[in-house]
Amino acid sequence: MNSERIEFDAVVVGAGLAGSAAAMVMARGGLNVALIERGQKPGGKNYFGGAIYTHAIADLVPDFMDRRPPFERPVTEAGFWFLGKDGLTRMTVQGGELNADPPDAFITLRANFDPWWAEQAQAAGAFLIPKTTVVDFIREENGQVTGVLTDRPQGEIHAPVVIICEGVNNILTQKLGLIHRDLEPAQMALAFKKVISLPMETINARFGLPDDAHGLAVSVLGDVSLGLPGMGFVYTNKASVSIGLGVMLDTLAEYRLRPYDVLQRYLDHPAIAPLIKGGQLLEYGAHLIPEGGYRAMPKLATDGAMVAGDAAAMVNALHWEGTNMAIVAGKLAGETALEAHSRGDFTAKVMSRYEDRLSEGFILKDLKQYRGFSRFLETHPQFMDVYPNFVNGALGQFFTAYGKPKKELFKGMLGSLTNRRGLIKAAGDIVSMARSVMGW
């Protein structure tokens, strides 16, 4: 054997949410694991809304609260805001399920969370290799993956199993032939956001939060994305607000829209601007979200390799669920690698047990169920325009005393819908919406 040959029991590509989860599981199972990250440190290149879900974290680190994770605020109020041309209707929920202990979700910033998450993998024994990009695979003649090639001099790292957790730019997944096409603009949303700093007390007052133990996470529909398929979001951090939106990439290209202009238009909306007034810009960035759903997923395993998280299009866009899918998929891939080691068999037959594990839990079930939703907003633009404006207008009318008989009021409210969308078509839209999320 060559003395310079670097060997591990397993290699994980990417120390994001999926990658550190996979590395944690395998290291705890006694494997010698290399966790390779192209950024200066984990999280350095990562970006999200966002809220991270505790069920997934607790699955791997049951005592996570004792380990002081760098969360901003728990999500204690969540829901939808419907933005009309000059108004806003809020449909949010507080209490109930959101009062759980620990909370269902925490708002966080990835630059803080990812290093902590990777530390949990390192504490379990995984070996983090930052500032290193995996550029290709080492493969045997029969195609079996037996390691990776990195951009370092003599950058070969050998291992009988490789877990690809490279995120949305799934170059390696393509290289391995697990998916036979480049990223398709119709299956990608480009999300852009600003983090705007404000004093904690100002955030609490403006968003109606009693203190920093309360946080708001909302999806914003309507006059956010010029009536085009897209959705906005607002998350309250401790002393900043994360605010942004995602628009399908093909739509941006078709209408020749500049992301920054769309975002700025949203931030200048008369119902949004006062919420962030006087704040200082801390961060501005953009990131792709793989929203193609089940139909856009690659093959999940092959001889010696598996793919997890965004690289495998594991995102439920309507619910903003991607972090939990990445963590749980990483864990299941790690468990499959442990099984392969115990059997001494790294062929696709054993690797495909990963897909069996995924099928048993929520990830594949949800992605299958929501398979029709990825194009729903594109084919039903009225949900971006007609209905949010109707909700705003109708509620505004309902709560206004015009000094006219109420019969006229209701006629006017109904008219504000039927002028834009006939009742039969509106009923059809509701059925289509139900079908797309129920998977009928």
Please report whether residue 17 would count as binding ligand FAD according to CB under 6 A.
yes
Part in contact with ligand FAD (CB under 6 A); list of ranges 42-50, 269-277, 389-397, 416-424 = 42-50
Which residues, 72 to 101, sit near ligand FAD by CB under 6 A? none
69 binding ligand FAD? (CB under 6 A): no
**Minimal distance in Å, beta carbon 291 to ligand FAD?**
10
Q: Which residue's CB is nearer to ligand FAD, number 162 or number 338?
A: 162
Say which DSSP state 125 is in: T
Which of 22, 228, 289, 313 touches ligand FAD by CB under 6 A?
289
Q: What is the Cα–Cα distance from 73 to 214, expressed in whole angstroms?
A: 6
9 contacts ligand FAD (rule: CB under 6 A):
no
Residue 180 has phi, psi (to 5 degrees) of -105, 30
Query: Do the beta carbons of residue 351 and residue 340 sit within 8 Å?
Result: yes
* Interaction between residue 14 and ligand FAD (CB under 6 A): yes
d(CA 211, CA 198): 14
Residue nearer to ligand FAD on the CB measure, 170 or 392: 170
Q: Is 49 in the site for ligand FAD (CB under 6 A)?
A: yes
Nearest to 109 by CA among 246, 283, 281, 327: 283
What are the distances in angstroms from CA 293 to CA 49, 154, 219, 317, 374?
Answer: 19, 38, 19, 8, 6
If one asks whether residue 46 binds ligand FAD (CB under 6 A), the answer comes out as yes
User: Min. distance of Cβ 49 from ligand FAD in angstroms?
Assistant: 3
Alpha helix (H) ranges present in 314-385? 323-343, 348-351, 353-360, 362-369, 376-379
Where in 227-341 does DSSP place strands (E)?
A: 230-236, 240-248, 280-290, 301-302, 305-307
Q: Which is nearer to ligand FAD, 281 or 423 (CB)?
A: 281
129 binds ligand FAD (CB under 6 A): no
Out of 10, 11, 12, 13, point to the residue binding ligand FAD (CB under 6 A).
Answer: 13
**Length of the chain, please?**
440
122 lies in the site for ligand FAD, by CB under 6 A: no
CB 180 within 8 A of CB 302: no
Number of residues counted as binding ligand FAD (CB under 6 A): 39
- Pattern of binders to ligand FAD over 21-40, x per CB under 6 A? ---------------xxxx-
- Cα–Cα distance for residue pair 191/185, rounded to 1 Å: 13
* Separation in Å, CA 355 to CA 104, 289, 324, 359: 26, 22, 17, 6
| Binder among 72, 166, 303, 366 for ligand FAD (CB under 6 A) | 166
Q: Report the residue from 73, 194, 214, 287 that binds ligand FAD according to the rule CB under 6 A.
A: 287
Which residues neighbour 207 within 8 Å (Cβ) at sequence distance 6 or greater? 216, 236, 275
Task: Round to whole Å and give the CA distance between 107 and 242.
Answer: 9
Pick from 167, 215, 388, 393 the residue near ligand FAD by CB under 6 A: 167
Among 50, 87, 279, 293, the residue binding ligand FAD under the rule CB under 6 A is 50
In angstroms, what is the minimal distance from the CB of 293 to ligand FAD?
13
Q: How distant is the alpha carbon of residue 325 from its chain centre?
A: 9
Least Å distance, CB 407 to ligand FAD, is 44
What backbone torsions phi and psi does residue 168 show, to the nearest 5 degrees?
-65, -35
Nearer to ligand FAD, 162 or 386 (CB): 162
- 306-365 positions binding ligand FAD, by CB under 6 A: 309-311, 315, 320-324, 326
Name residues contacting ligand FAD, limited to 188-207 (CB under 6 A). Answer: 191, 193
Is residue 279 within the footprint of ligand FAD (CB under 6 A)?
A: no
| CB of 165 closer than 8 Å to CB of 326 | yes
Q: Are 169 and 178 in contact (CB under 8 A)?
A: no
What does the alpha-carbon distance between residue 179 and residue 211 come to, in Å, rounded to a whole number?
A: 47
**Shortest distance (Å) from residue 93 CB to ligand FAD:** 17
Smallest distance, Å, CB 347 to ligand FAD? 24
Nearer to ligand FAD, 335 or 429 (CB): 335
Span interacting with ligand FAD, options 63-71, 166-174, 197-205, 389-397, rule CB under 6 A: 166-174
Residues lying near ligand FAD in the complex (CB under 6 A) are found at 13-19, 36-39, 45-51, 133-134, 165-167, 172, 191, 193, 244, 287, 289, 309-311, 315, 320-324, 326
